Each structure stands twice: as C-alpha cells, then as structure tokens.
C-alpha cells in the first residue's frame, strides 16, 4: 500500500491518496480543498484515481470532492447517511469557515457500519464513529494494520464536539468501541496533524484517560 499525504486548505487537512501496490488502483480520501494541488500531485505520480472516500461532511474534508468527481469521472463513497445535513449545508459551512462559496452536493453512495469496501486487492472495514459528527466513518485495513480516522482522534487529542449534532460522550464511546478495539500497533492516520498509533493514544491521550473532557 502506497500512502501519499497532501495537506490542503488553511486548516492543513490531510488529504490522503491510497494506492494498492498490486493493482495500482487509488482512492482519494477527504479532499478538503485545493483541487489543483491534488490533481497536480496525482499527475506527478502517474496516478489515475478510481474513487473518492469521505469520512465525514465538514467542508475542510469534502470541499474539493465534487470537482475531483467531475474531473476524473469517479464516484464519491461515504460517509454514513446521518451526515447528509452537513452536505445540505455546504453553502452555510463555506460562510462559517471562511471558504469560497460552495455548491451543495451528495455522495454517490452512503456507507454503513460493518461494510467492507475494496481498493484493488486491499479490503477496508467501515466503522461508524459518531460524536464529532453523527455520520462519521473510519476506514480500517487489517492486512496493513492502519486506520484512516478523519477527525475522530488525533495525536494527543480528539475531535471537536461543539458543532451541530456533535456530542462528547458519544465520541468517547465511539473511540473506545471502534478505535481502541484495534491492536496497539495499528497506525492511525488522522485528518489533521501527525500520524499516531492505537497504543500511543490508549496510554497517553489525556481525553481517553479521563484527565480532560
């Protein structure tokens, strides 16, 4: 599995390009903006993406998705359907976050907890992790021991819960159920900041230990 990280927008959101080494199929995950930058990076690497995956509907994670869908003629997959209200409110999100005007769009396919999605020869388990947003999902690849976790958990922190339909106890429960149930050596690729691991967050994250939050 080849992983490329492209920080986008002033929020420095980690857009990820995952490519199956065997088939060369590639997914764009959470393209939050700067579509030209993402296209340029893909072209430089000779990658023709086959799908876009979204963890949740906040604009800094989806802002370039529709442009890339049209450019590459590929589908947008995810998140879970409880996230639709965030997609319906993309124009308002643009105003709230100070982004350029955004035309609302919807994914081609919603995902549900427990589904398995494929990228070439690689399989990813979809886990529903509400709390930061109600329809947030994460993508877990057990063969490579990694999880794309969006804004559920970060190195030493967790996602915000002060946006509409966010909920702190729900987020903590999601993390304990869906993230900490993985082995300590699973890598966690978050939507912002450095990558971390399940073990590091289990033992050192103050929000999980109960010191904060």
Give the CATH number, domain containing residue 180. 3.60.15.10
pLDDT of residue 71: 98
| Alpha carbon 105 to chain centroid, angstroms | 17
Domain count, the chain: 1
d(CA 179, CA 2): 22
Place of tokens 């966010």: 166
pTM over 0.95: yes
Q: Which residue segment(s) compose the domain that 135 sits in?
A: 2-209
**How far is CA 28 from each of CA 67, 185, 205, rounded to the nearest angstrom?**
12, 24, 28
- The pLDDT profile of the chain, 213 residues, written as one tens digit per residue, is 999 999 999 999 999 999 999 999 999 999 999 999 999 999 999 999 999 999 999 999 999 999 999 999 999 999 999 999 999 999 999 998 888 899 999 999 999 999 999 999 999 999 999 999 999 999 999 999 999 999 999 999 999 999 999 999 999 999 999 999 999 999 999 999 999 999 999 999 999 876 654
């Amino acid at each position: 599995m080849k992983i490329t990280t492209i920080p986008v927008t002033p929020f420095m959101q980690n857009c990820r390009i995952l490519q199956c080494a065997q088939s060369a199929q590639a997914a764009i995950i959470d393209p939050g903006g700067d579509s030209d930058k993402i296209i340029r990076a893909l072209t430089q690497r000779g990658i023709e993406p086959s799908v876009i995956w979204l963890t949740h509907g906040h604009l800094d994670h989806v802002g370039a998705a529709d442009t890339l869908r049209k450019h590459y003629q590929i589908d947008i997959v995810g998140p879970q359907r409880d996230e639709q209200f965030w997609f319906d409110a993309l124009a308002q999100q643009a105003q709230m976050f100070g982004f350029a005007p955004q035309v609302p769009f919807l994914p081609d396919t919603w995902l549900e907890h427990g589904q398995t999605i494929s990228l070439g020869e690689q399989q990813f388990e979809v886990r529903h992790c509400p709390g930061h947003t109600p329809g947030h999902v994460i993508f877990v690849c057990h063969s490579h021991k990694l999880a794309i976790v969006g804004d559920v958990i970060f190195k030493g922190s967790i996602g915000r819960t002060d946006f509409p339909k966010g909920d702190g106890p729900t987020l903590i429960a999601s993390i304990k159920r869906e993230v900490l149930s993985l082995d300590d050596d699973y890598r966690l690729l978050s939507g912002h900041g450095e990558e971390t691991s399940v073990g590091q967050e289990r033992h050192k994250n103050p929000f999980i230990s109960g010191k904060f939050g």
